Amino acid sequence: MGTHDAEAIAPETCPTANGMPMLGLGTWQNDDPEQCAESVRTALEMGYRHIDTAQAYDNEEAVGEGIAAADIDRDEIFLATKIWISNLAHDDILETARASLDRLGVDYVDLLYVHWPAGEYDAEGTLSALSELYEEGLIENVGVSNFRPEDLEVAVDVCDAPIFANQVELHPLLPQEAIREACDNYDVEVVGYSPLARGQVFNQPEIKEVAAKHDASEAQVSLAWAREKGVTTIPKATGEDHIGDNWESLTVDLDREDLNTIDAIDETNRAVDPDFAPWN
């Protein structure tokens, strides 16, 4: 399958979770402004309708340029960004969220995340500010990221607005069962970042085996596996080939045997593990 096939896959074939397209474009480390804008434009014109960025990625402006360059109505795009840990005090959120909207060139974002429960994070102060932005209509949904089950429990309890999603590293080498179960209990969507384990899935024998069976790429199989688990993924890709290959994962249907094969991987590998992470 080539990227020409990818362009034939209509946006509406992408399943949604509470209105959020379950396959999005991640932009972490896509910090060349021209390339970032082009990646976003390419993805949107191919059919993607979910774009994920963050203050810390230093590319919100380029993401906004890509959105503006694509001939897609803003209300068809699910746009998410994240507040960095140094900006999580109540007033800083109100100020820097507006700055993010300005950089993105939009009136609202569909989802605004707390990037990590770290730094200036204070459950009540932080989440009350997000609730204010939600009430004002500057954000459609409140999200958290890198929250353990116990962090999520507190957030759900203190936030006036519903917690819509928890974005965590999630892939066949880090399936995050406990977090998925907690999110399920609290009616919170799971968004998986680094869904290809920073390329480690390409060398995994079990994934190679399933990919060969489906005449698919290891990336497509990993994304299809997450989707079967009810997880939304936001793989980062910059070139048209990779953006297209990931989009074509929507045509890959795994059966129970495939899922069992992948679930049996007993290697665990966490790729994103900063000192300030709540589990450290």
Which residues participate in catalysis according to the annotation?
Answer: 57
CA distance 129 to 122: 11
Query: Averaged over 206-210, what is the pLDDT?
Result: 98
The distance of Cα 75 from the centroid of its chain, to the nearest Å, equals 18
The pLDDT value given to residue 224? 98
Query: Averaged over 27-47, what is the pLDDT?
Result: 96
pLDDT band at 4 (very low <50, low <70, confident <90, very high): very low
Please tell me the pTM assigned to this model.
0.96
Q: Is the pLDDT of residue 165 over 80?
A: yes
Mean pLDDT for the chain overall: 96
The pLDDT value given to residue 9? 87
Q: What is the CA radius of gyration of the chain?
A: 18
**By percentage, how much of the chain surpasses pLDDT 90?**
94
Please say whether the beta carbons of 77 and 48 come within 8 A: no
Nearest 5°: phi and psi at 106? -130, 165
Select the highest-mean-pLDDT range: 11-15, 27-31, 166-170: 166-170
Cα dihedral angle (160, 140, 178, 228), rounded to 10 degrees? 150
Is the torsion defined by CA of 186, 187, 193, 199 positive or negative?
positive
Helix (H, G, I), strand (E, B) or coil at 149: helix
**Of residues 85, 84, 25, 29, the one with CA closest to residue 57:** 29
Would you state the structure tokens that stand for residue 84, as one six-digit string?
Answer: 């960095």
- Determine how many CB atoms are found less than 10 A away from the CB of residue 118: 18
* Amino acid found at 60: E
Cβ-count burial 83-117 (b if 16+ within 10 Å, e if not)? bbbebbbbebbbebbeebbebbebebbbbbbbbbb
* Residue count of the chain: 280
pLDDT band at 3 (very low <50, low <70, confident <90, very high): very low
CA distances from 200 to 158, 171, 196, 271, 274 (A): 37, 10, 7, 9, 19
The pLDDT value given to residue 8? 80
Query: Averaged over 205-210, what is the pLDDT?
Result: 98
Expressed in angstroms, the distance from the first to the final Cα of the chain is 42
Beta-carbon contacts of 275 under 8 Å, excluding residues fewer than 6 positions away, are: none
CA distance 161 to 144: 12
Q: Is the pLDDT of residue 2 over 80?
A: no
Q: Is the pLDDT of residue 96 over 60?
A: yes
Q: What is the pLDDT of residues 221-257, one digit of tens each?
A: 999 999 999 999 999 999 999 999 999 999 999 999 9
- Determine how many CB atoms are found less than 10 A away from the CB of residue 145: 20
pLDDT band at 7 (very low <50, low <70, confident <90, very high): confident
pLDDT band at 5 (very low <50, low <70, confident <90, very high): confident
CA distance 84 to 96: 9
- Determine how many CB atoms are found less than 10 A away from the CB of residue 247: 27
